[in-house]
Amino acid sequence: MSSPTPEPPDTIPTSQPAPRPPSRLRRWLGSLAALVIVAGLAGGAWYLIKRSNEPAAGRGGLGGASSTVGHAAARRIELPVTIEALGTVTPLATITLKPQVGGVLTEVLYTEGQTITRGQLLARIDPRPYEQALMQAQGTRVRDEAQLEAARVTLARYRTLLGQDSIARQDVDTQAALVKQLEGTVITDRAAEAAARLNVEYTRITAPVAGRIGLRTVDPGNTVTANAATGIAVITQMNPIDVQFAVPQDRLPDIQAQLAKGEPLSVKALDRTRSATLDTGTFSTLDNVVDTSTGTVKGKARFGNAAVTLFPSQFVNIQMILRTVNAIVVPVTAVRTGPSGNYVYVINEDRTVSMRAVKRGESTVDEVAITEGLQVGENVVTEGGDRIKDGARVQLQGDKPVTAPRAGASGPRGPRGEGRRQRPSSP
């Protein structure tokens, strides 16, 4: 019996070659190339960082050039110790002219803005009503004085009769009382007459002080009243004149010490830009209390103001000299402040700078005293200090810049600065 024949499969498998793994040499070469690339990038980055830091750390400028800075030499001078403050011009007297009596303003005898003297007649009020009142007071006084004189004569006769025992004492006493009464009436009449005469004088408005008169507020022909709120003009005393300013409380001992010596303290009034001196005066007095909100005391200086350069309520800069000290000074812009305190950049002979700590003392607007850390004659950086560091190389203002030779510029040069090219010799 024969065995069954197996059926052929539906698909016949096709043989394919297996993928070959990469060789070890190719993997090693790829890793080496990647390392070379990373190393090149790291080297380029390091080079760029070094080049960017080199001008700031080494030579102090961009592209290897030195930074140009301003400089000044430390010098020894008599430095004035001053107080700088903002002051307000205050007149010694500001007076509003107010009529003392009412009436019609008949004359105005001043010009607006005129400089007047004390006692000068400025305006007139119609005096006729007050002159009539004065005449009435005078008549009353004369009448009462005549009655008083008659009463005194009668009293003298009564006393004579009383000595002869021809009259009662009661009549004498009554007449004496009448004399006293009339004497009081005459005193009252004289007071009324003086008041009427004073009212007549009040119709003439005169200047109580010398100064500058302001704008006119009332024209002639208007009726004015006594003690009006506005008045007819304002007079301001211009010379002398005061300036009021604030003094730091720390300066009070210096001021009091100078005042105790009897030495006047010189004070200058400067304009808004501090470029011109308006007037020079002397310190006058201090207030009696310290302002707790500002820690200052109000002070006052007096100026002659002969040229009328100071105007009331004007703001001026005050400079008061307390004393002078012998010190080494540099410009204020040379001193800088860092985490460790004040310092300056000292310029060495090789045009490098060294940062040096200093201790500052008294100062003015332009100069500051150096008590420690600096010697006379040493040069310090005043301008451009924010562009340099310790050890940087600098160029001083006024020095000629040094230009480095251009690369590849060797060899003879033509008339126009171009290098001559040699022709090849023909064979």
Alpha carbons within 13 angstroms on the beta-carbon side of residue 175 total: 20
Q: Both 155 and 215 in a single domain?
A: no
Domain boundary among 304, 326, 348: 326
Q: For the domain that residue 161 is a member of, what is the CATH number?
A: 1.10.287
Which residues of the chain have a pLDDT value below 70? Answer: 1-25, 47, 49-65, 398-427
**Residue 276: other Cβ atoms inside 10 A:** 10
- Is residue 6 in a domain? no
Q: Both 69 and 187 in a single domain?
A: no
Q: By residue range, what is the domain housing residue 109? A: 102-125+206-236
- Is residue 358 in a domain? yes
- Is residue 258 in a domain? yes
pLDDT at 234: 93
- Is residue 402 in a domain? no
Q: Both 313 and 272 in a single domain?
A: yes
Q: Both 248 and 229 in a single domain?
A: no
pLDDT at 181: 95
Alpha carbons within 13 angstroms on the beta-carbon side of residue 338 total: 15
SS3 255: helix
Q: Both 216 and 115 in a single domain?
A: yes
pLDDT at 14: 47
- Is residue 13 in a domain? no
pLDDT at 122: 94
Q: Both 194 and 218 in a single domain?
A: no
pLDDT at 399: 66
- Is residue 331 in a domain? yes
Q: Both 232 and 254 in a single domain?
A: no
Q: Both 243 and 320 in a single domain?
A: yes
Alpha carbon distance 240, 264 (integer Å): 17
Alpha carbon distance 213, 112 (integer Å): 6
pLDDT at 23: 64
Q: For the domain that residue 312 is a member of, what is the CATH number?
A: 2.40.30.170
Q: For the domain that residue 117 is a member of, what is the CATH number?
A: 2.40.50.100
Q: For the domain that residue 338 is a member of, what is the CATH number?
A: 2.40.420.20
Beta strands in 188-340 (DSSP E): 204-206, 211-213, 223-224, 233-236, 241-248, 266-270, 277-291, 296-303, 315-331, 336-338
Number of domains in the chain: 4
Kindly state the helix (H) or strand (E) to which residue 355 belongs, with its residue range: strand 353-357
Whether 87 and 316 have beta carbons less than 8 Å apart is answered as: yes
Q: Both 244 and 304 in a single domain?
A: yes
pLDDT at 133: 95
SS3 60: coil
Domain boundary among 298, 326, 354: 326
- Is residue 48 in a domain? no
Q: Both 331 and 321 in a single domain?
A: no
Domain boundary among 179, 202, 225: 202
Instruction: Determine the number of helices (DSSP H) and then strands (DSSP E) in the chain.
Output: 4, 22
**Is pTM beyond 0.95 here?**
no
pLDDT at 190: 96
- Is residue 405 in a domain? no
Sequence-ordered list of residues with C-beta below 8 angstroms from that of 85, at least 6 positions apart, any chain:
245, 246, 247, 317, 318, 320
Q: Both 291 and 220 in a single domain?
A: no
pLDDT at 51: 58
Q: Both 114 and 232 in a single domain?
A: yes
Alpha carbon distance 347, 354 (integer Å): 7
